[in-house]
Amino acid sequence: MAYNDIFFILALLPLSVIISFFDNSAEYKNLISIITGIIFIAWGRPIGVLVVCLFFLFDWLIALLIGKVKVSSRAGASALLVLDLLFNISIFIVYTRGNVIPLPGKLTLKSTLIPFAMGYYVLRAFSYVYDVCKGEEAEKNPLYLLTYFTSAQFMMCGPVIRYKDIKPQLHSRRADGRMISGGFDLIVYGLAKVMIIASALNKASSAGLEASDVSFFGCWLGMAAYFGAAYFTLSGFCEISRGLGLMNGFVFSENFAPIDSKAGFTGLVRGYNTTVTHFFEEALYSPFAGKKALSAAMAFVCCIAVAAWYSFSKPVLLAGALAGAVVVLELLLLRERISKLPAAVRYLYLIILSMLIFGICRFGTVYGWRRWALGLVGVGDKYLISKQLKTVIMNNLFVFISGLIIVISPLKSFLARRVEVWQASSGRAYSFIEGVKTVFKAILLVMCISSMVIAGL
C-alpha cells in the first residue's frame, strides 16, 4: 500500500486515528500503530511483512549484541555493525534492485514508490544499529522497537527518523485536537503535491523531453518539470508522513531545506532529502572533517553512496560522481568565491549545473543526454516550443504557478509574511483567512481523492 492509496486515506487512516484515541497510554497507541502498519505493508505485498519481521529480528538482536560487546571489545562491535550493514544492503539489493520489483525506467510515481520506500526503510533500520554502536543504548523492549520498525508513519519516503530521536515519543506521547488538525493539513498538502502538482509536472516533462519532438523550450521546461516532479513527489510523501506522525502524536523534522544559493552546489545537494544526506554525511564525512584533503575525498564518496542509494544504475552513479566532483571543487577552491557572487549569478550557476548533472538521470544513454544538452542551446531543435508542451502548460497553468510559489522560497516566505500581518490586524481578518484556508484545503482534498479514483490507485 502507498500513502496515496484510496483505501489508506479513506479507511485505514481515519480508523486508526479514531481507535488510538480510546486510550491515552503510549503502549496502546503503539499497538494500534503496529497493527495498522502491518495491514499497510501486507495490503500491497504480503511478503513485505516477512521482510519487515526479518529486519526487526536481525537488527534487534544485533543491536543487543553490540550493546553487550561494545564495552569490552570495540572491534567486535564494529564487526557486528559490518555484518548488519551487509545484511541490510543485501536485502536492499535483492528487494529493490533485483527482479522482485522491476527497475523504474523513469522517475514516475508508481514505479519509484516501493524502491524508494525500501531505501528509507533500510537506512532507518541500519541507523538504529549504527547509533547503538556509536554509544546509544540498545532497546530492550521489543514492542517499542517493533513500533519503530512497522508503523506506517515511519514507513514511506522520508524523513529518515532515527530511533534515538523518536525514542522519547515512543515511550510517551499525546495527540491533541490541534495536532490532529495540523496533521490533516499536512496530509492534504502532501497529497496535493503528489497527486496534482507532480502529476502535471510529469506530463510536462514527458511532453517537453519527447525525443521525436525536440524544441528549445521543451529542453529547458521539460527538464525543469522533471526535477519539479521528483521534488514534489518526495516532498509530498514526506509531508504526508509528517502529517500522519502528528495525528498520532509524533513530531518529525522536515526533510527539505530551502535552497541557500550562498552555500553553492553543496548546499543544494545537502538541502534535498536532508535526513538521508545528513546520515551519509555523519557516517562517512564527519569523522574526517578536520583534514581538508581527506574530507574532500570522503565528500566525493558520500555523493556516490547517496547516488547508489537512490538507484544502482549507471546514469545515476555517473550523476553522483559528477556531483561529487563539483562538491569537492567547491570545498577546496570555490566556496568563498561563490558566496561573493551576486544572487542572480549564483542562482544561474545552480540551475545550469544541476540541470546538466542531474539531467543525466533522465536519460538512459549518453546520446540522449547529449541531444538534450545541445537542444538547450538551440542545436537540433525543430522549433521553439512543441504544440503538445504548449497544451500541457496551458491546461495546468494554475498548478505550475502554485508549484513555482512553493519552490521559490523567498516568494513563498514573502507571501506568508503578508498573510500573517493581515491576519494579526483583526479578529475578523483572522477568521476570514482561516476560513478561506479551510475551504481551499477541502477543495484540494476532493481533487486529490478524485485523482486517486481516476488513477485507480
Partner 1 sequence: MAFKYYYEYLNPEGAPEMPEDTKGDEIIKNINRDERTARSSFINLAVLTVTLVFCALCVFVLRENDYSRFEEGLKPDKENLRSGEFTASLEGDVLSHLALEEKIIRTDNFLHYFCGVGNELMKTEKREEPEYIIGGAFMQQSANGGSGLPGGTDNDTTHVVSTRVTDAEKHTEGTQKTKAAKKTNDEKATRATAMTTREEYGETTTTTTTTAEATTTTAVTNNKAPDVTTKVTTKATTTEATTKKVTTKKTTKKTTAPTQTNTTASETEPVETSPTQESSDEETDIVPDETPDE
The nearer residue to partner 1, 191 or 223, going by C-beta atoms, is 191
> Minimal distance in Å, beta carbon 224 to partner 1?
32
Phi then psi for residue 215, to 5 deg, are -140, 160
Spatial CA neighbour of 209 closest among 361, 54, 28: 361
> Minimal distance in Å, beta carbon 201 to partner 1?
24
The nearer residue to partner 1, 226 or 250, going by C-beta atoms, is 250
The nearer residue to partner 1, 253 or 438, going by C-beta atoms, is 438
Q: Could you tell me if 171 and 219 are in contact, meaning their C-beta atoms sit under 8 angstroms apart?
A: no
> Minimal distance in Å, beta carbon 406 to partner 1?
20
**What cell numbers appear for 230 in the block?**
521528483
> Minimal distance in Å, beta carbon 416 to partner 1?
16
Exposure on the CB side of residue 266, measured as CA atoms within 13 A: 22
The nearer residue to partner 1, 193 or 203, going by C-beta atoms, is 193
Phi then psi for residue 226, to 5 deg, are -65, -45
The nearer residue to partner 1, 9 or 41, going by C-beta atoms, is 9
The nearer residue to partner 1, 40 or 309, going by C-beta atoms, is 40
**What cell numbers appear for 39 in the block?**
495491514
The nearer residue to partner 1, 73 or 450, going by C-beta atoms, is 450
On the question of a cis peptide bond just before residue 258, with omega within 30 degrees of 0, the verdict is no
Which amino acid type is present at position 95? Y
Q: Could you tell me if 245 and 13 are in contact, meaning their C-beta atoms sit under 8 angstroms apart?
A: no
Spatial distance between the Cα atoms of 399 and 329, rounded to a whole number of angstroms: 37
Spatial distance between the Cα atoms of 164 and 300, rounded to a whole number of angstroms: 28
The nearer residue to partner 1, 290 or 427, going by C-beta atoms, is 427
**What cell numbers appear for 441 in the block?**
484545503
> Minimal distance in Å, beta carbon 360 to partner 1?
34
**What cell numbers appear for 312 in the block?**
544502482
Spatial CA neighbour of 104 closest among 195, 222, 229: 229
> Minimal distance in Å, beta carbon 107 to partner 1?
24
Contacts of 156 (CB under 8 A, 6+ apart): 2, 3, 113, 117, 120, 237, 240, 241
Spatial distance between the Cα atoms of 129 and 132, rounded to a whole number of angstroms: 5
Residues that bind partner 1 (CB under 8 A): 6, 9-11, 14, 177-178, 180-182, 184-185, 188, 427, 430-431, 434-435, 437-439, 441-442, 445-446, 449, 453
The nearer residue to partner 1, 175 or 303, going by C-beta atoms, is 175
The DSSP line for 181-207 is HHHHHHHHHHHHIIIIIIHHHHHHHHH
Residue 172 Ramachandran class (φ > 0 left, ψ -120 to 50 alpha, else beta): beta
Q: Could you tell me if 218 and 207 are in contact, meaning their C-beta atoms sit under 8 angstroms apart?
A: yes
> Minimal distance in Å, beta carbon 50 to partner 1?
18
> Minimal distance in Å, beta carbon 85 to partner 1?
33
The helix (run of H) or strand (run of E) holding residue 134 is none
The nearer residue to partner 1, 161 or 444, going by C-beta atoms, is 444
Spatial distance between the Cα atoms of 382 and 374, rounded to a whole number of angstroms: 12
> Minimal distance in Å, beta carbon 164 to partner 1?
31
The nearer residue to partner 1, 180 or 257, going by C-beta atoms, is 180
Phi then psi for residue 319, to 5 deg, are -60, -40
> Minimal distance in Å, beta carbon 434 to partner 1?
4
> Minimal distance in Å, beta carbon 102 to partner 1?
14
Residue 148, classed as helix, strand or coil, is helix
